[in-house]
Amino acid sequence: MRVLVSGGAGYIGSHTVLSLVASGHDVVVVDDFSNSKPTVMGRVESLSGTHVPVHAIDLTDAEKTERLFAHERFDAVVHFAGLKAVGESVAKPLAYYRNNLDSTLSLLEAMRRHDVPRLVFSSSATVYGEKAPVPYREDYDFLSSSSPYGQTKVMIERIMADAAAATDGLKVALLRYFNPVGAHPSGQIGEDPQGIPNNLMPFLAQVAVGKRDKLVVFGDDYPTADGTCERDYLHVEDLAAGHVAALQHLDAMAEPVRAFNLGTGTGTSVLQMLHAFERAVGRELPYEVGPRRAGDLAAFWADPTRAQTELGWRAEKTIDDMCADTWRWQSANPQGFPGA
């Protein structure tokens, strides 16, 4: 298939582009580079051994999005593009609602006008909110989120379901994934957060490479095995493979919209991840315990049964794989990707 990947220069998007190309798909990327760097695509082309066309377009611009679809033919869209920092979304809710919803509406409208019938959406486990029973299952109906970022995912899932109900032939896979970490085994592409990392793994990597003094563990008095929060960490390579599996399953779906959890089904604590990263680096890393962070849940993880059964997908890589690949990327690229 000829696949448009929105946000394809981003962390998960770039790994998925490689996975799509390796699976024989013809890939085109659209990205406004607001949270990624153009130099990513040179490395993607080098690793894939093929040219990947890139359109530097802000998808909130409906006219430019329409022109893209008018001049290119696509069989499917994989939609990553959007703002994604939870804390920033609390401070700038209107920017998040406008960017994430407008870009999605532009895409859906262009897809409808040009008869593009397949869509894979990068959703998030944050749609389960604070009250869903653990492990999270896709049939939980009371979707919500405590952050504007998460609420945009909830809203977009609803928009896509309504669009599919009103558009004959449109099939949509909603991929709710948990905590993507790791990097390509080459060490050439990986996570390159702008500013202070919001997530544990890139923060750990920056401590290990000397960019940060120490890790702060937000609370060690949770009702978990070691008192620190537990999350379902998933290697980005496994996650990318999940997008390919979902894309290739769309035509066989009996219903127009189907949600899938992409996770390992296992919780890993902050301290367990810290010690795994120490094994990858070969030395202890400095950390201190701070107060709990507002809004953090004690523990959650996926029930990945549906993805295993229907997509034939399962996470293969271990926590040690995730840490080793992250360290290979970060140690080779201590400042992340070079600027344009």
Query: Which residues are known to be catalytic?
Result: 149
Query: Of the candidates 44, 87, 79, which has an alpha carbon nearest to the alpha carbon of residue 294?
Result: 87
> Going along 236-314, which residue ranges are E strands?
257-262, 268-269, 287-290
Question: Could you tell me which of 18, 36, 39, 15 has the C-alpha nearest to residue 27?
Answer: 18
Angle (CA) 131 135 141, round 5°: 50
Q: Which two tokens stand for residue 313?
A: 């997908």
- The CA distance from 43 to 93, in Å, is 33
- Angstrom distance (rounded) from CA 164 to CA 77: 14
Tokens 């939609």: give the residue: 79
- Write out the two tokens for 100: 């994430």
Pairing of strands 287-290, 215-218: parallel
Spatial separation of the C-alpha atoms in residues 103 and 191, rounded to whole Å:
23
**Tokens found for residue 83:** 């703002």
